[in-house]
Every structure is written in structure tokens, then in C-alpha cells.
Amino acid sequence: MWNVIVSDAEGKETFRTILKAGRVVTIGRGADQIIRLGAVIVSRQHGRIELRNGKPTYFDGESANGSKINGDMVRGPTTLTDKSTLEIGGYKIQLQPDPNAKLESEKPAAPPSLPPLDNTLAMMKTANVNIESLAAELEGGVELTPMAPPPPKPAPKPAAAPPPRPAMGLPPVKESALPGMSFVNLPPVPKAGSEIPAPKPLDEAADLLDHHLHGIRSHRENAQKQDAGRQAYLDQEWAKILESLRQLHAKIHRDPRVQIFTIARDGSEVTVKLTDAGEKRGYRYLVLSRQHPDRDQYQKQDAVWIREFGRNDTSYREPREALRDLVQRIAGTLA
């Protein structure tokens, strides 16, 4: 068995569960997930951890923003160890072997066996027990005398009440003796035996509502701050990518196999068309974009996309990884 430990960005442990055979630890933003992460960049069913051939294995559920293990993007089922760090939406998930797990060979010790009968008889002889007379008494029957019940315990005497304390004879304080101070008359202390008014009940429903409203608003504000910081980071990295691609355009645009290499005026996407005899249509058409054009399906625009005709669209949480993949595809065609 394994301990699955979840920590936030500050390294503080927020949740812990157990991974064992037959148990799948689901991860996501949905309420039905075992490990529920509240960050908005986490998908509802982001991924899962289960044992495959006795080894913890992570499966990314085709999440919109992906997952990382030790800083590398997850491309398929990946085996985890106690040195692996799974990163999802700013959270870190680590595995540790469960120290309480017992192997099948660790069986409880057998209870001590009773001493043999011969040893028991020898002990009785050593204690000067007449075995023959004892056997005769047992054979003829032993008369048992019932024990008298113990006498009842006397009822405890009630404790005497402590004597009342004498009143302290403090002299009255005159207002003229303390200039500049005002005195407030306190309500009289109720006498012994008098009824004390019950305290006013708390409005529990209103208090609970305020508590939940405060928690929801705090969570929403934190999510908005994280989203704003994420968008600012993506915009900054995207500007660096465009500058790098302008330098690449100056280097390869004269190659006859480069049919199109353009950057949109608003800087939202880069289009590359390359002659490729290995393709059925005779060319490769690549588009690197800051946002996915199908905004109805991809409302969360917090990734960089590569679209290639005839292949599935690919999203990248790190813009530099998208640039690296685009250049690799171009190099594979021009090589």
C-alpha cells in the first residue's frame, strides 16, 4: 500500500489518502473525485492513480491543461515512485510506502502452550500438595459453601456547605477624590436562589450563511487572482515566442519547400505550410495559436495550441513546449 499526499504551492499538506490493490484514486475538480483540487485550471476528471503490475501508475484523463511529473509533461501512462512529484494545477502529489502495511509472512506469534501434565504434577509435589487426598476429595465430591454477600457500604454523608464569606468593608469612594473620572453604576449581582435570565440564543442559520459566503467569495477571489496571473504569464511567454519565430522566418523563408510562413497582424497565430512528399496531399499545414478558434468548446483559453491538418489538435500549458514541438515538426520536414 502507498500513502498519497497532496500539498499546496507553499508545500503545506492539504489531503492524504491510501492507494492499494483494487482501489483507484481519482483526481480532479469534480465533487465525485477522491482527491478534489479546487483550482480552476484543473479539469473535473483530470486523471487517476492505480496499481498496474503492483506499481503505482498515473493516467492523465485527456485534461485540458495536462499534468507534469518531475517537471515533464505526461504523454501517457507513467509509473510513479517515492521520488516522483505529480504536479496538477499548482498542487503537488507524492507517494510514500505505507509503513503500517504488513507482508503475508508477518504473522502474529502463536500463544504460549500450556506446560505438560507431568510438569504440573511435579510442581504440585514440590508445593507439598497431597495428590492422593486431593483426588479422593474430587472423586467423592466437594461440598461448596456459598459466600455471604458483602455488607452494604454506608451512604456518603453530604458535604457541609462552606460558611459564607464576610462582606469586605471597603469605604465608599468619593467622586471628588478622583477628579476627571466618571463612575458607572453596575447592575446588582443576583442573590443565591434567584432566577438568572437565559442567554439569548445565537442565530445559527445566519452565522452559517455568513461563514459559507465568506468561504465561497475567498475561493472565487483566489481563483480570479490565479487566473489573472496565469494569463499575464502566457501573454509574456507568447511575445517571446513570436520574436523567436520572426528570427526563424528570416532563416528559412527562402527555402523553396517553405510555401507559407506568416505571423498574423494581431499576433494571435503563426501559419506554416511546407512541401512534404511523404504526405498524401503533398504538404504539411501547421498553425500555432494563442487561443483555440473553437471558443464554444474551449472556453478556458489558458494554453497554447498546435493545429495540423489531418491530425488532432494539441494543447500546451507551457508555451515554450509548443514552440519546441513546432520547430521539431518543421525540422522533420526540411531534414
Pull the grid cell for residue 81: 515512485
**Helix then strand then coil, % of the chain, to nearest 5:** 25, 25, 50
Q: 25-28 and 72-73 as β-strands: parallel, antiparallel, unpaired?
A: unpaired
**Region 153-160: what's the mean pLDDT?**
71
Q: In what order do the strands lie in the sheet with 35-36?
A: 35-36, 25-28, 47-52, 55-60, 78-79
Over residues 15-25, the pLDDT tens digits come to 999 999 899 99
The model's pTM: 0.37
pLDDT tier at 169 (50, 70, 90 boundaries)? low
Q: Give just the sign of the alpha carbon dihedral 258, 323, 76, 80.
A: positive
**Is residue 313 within 8 Å of residue 294, measured between CB atoms?**
no
Q: Is the pLDDT of residue 93 over 90?
A: yes
d(CA 224, CA 218): 10
Q: Is the pLDDT of residue 126 over 70?
A: no
- Coil, helix or strand for 172? coil
As to burial, measured by CB atoms within 10 angstroms (0-12 exposed, 13-18 middle, 19+ buried), residue 191 is exposed
Over residues 231-243, the pLDDT tens digits come to 888 889 999 999 9
Percent of the residues in the chain that have a pLDDT greater than 70, as a whole number? 69
Q: Is the pLDDT of residue 132 over 60?
A: no
What's residue 12's pLDDT? 92
d(CA 2, CA 6): 13
pLDDT tier at 206 (50, 70, 90 boundaries)? confident
What's residue 309's pLDDT? 86
pLDDT tier at 150 (50, 70, 90 boundaries)? low
173-187, 199-213, 273-287, 289-303: the lowest-pLDDT one: 173-187
Q: Which letter does DSSP use for residue 303 in this model?
A: S
Q: Is the pLDDT of residue 300 over 80?
A: no
| C-beta atoms surrounding 65 within 10 Å | 19
Residue ranges and CATH numbers for the domains of the chain are 2-97 (2.60.200.20), 236-334 (no CATH)
What's residue 19's pLDDT? 93
More confident residue, 158 or 270: 270
Q: Is the pLDDT of residue 290 over 60?
A: yes
Where on the phi/psi map is residue 233: left (φ > 0), alpha (ψ -120 to 50), or beta? Answer: alpha
| Separation of CA 157 from chain center | 58
Q: Is the pLDDT of residue 161 over 90?
A: no
Q: Is the pLDDT of residue 289 over 60?
A: yes
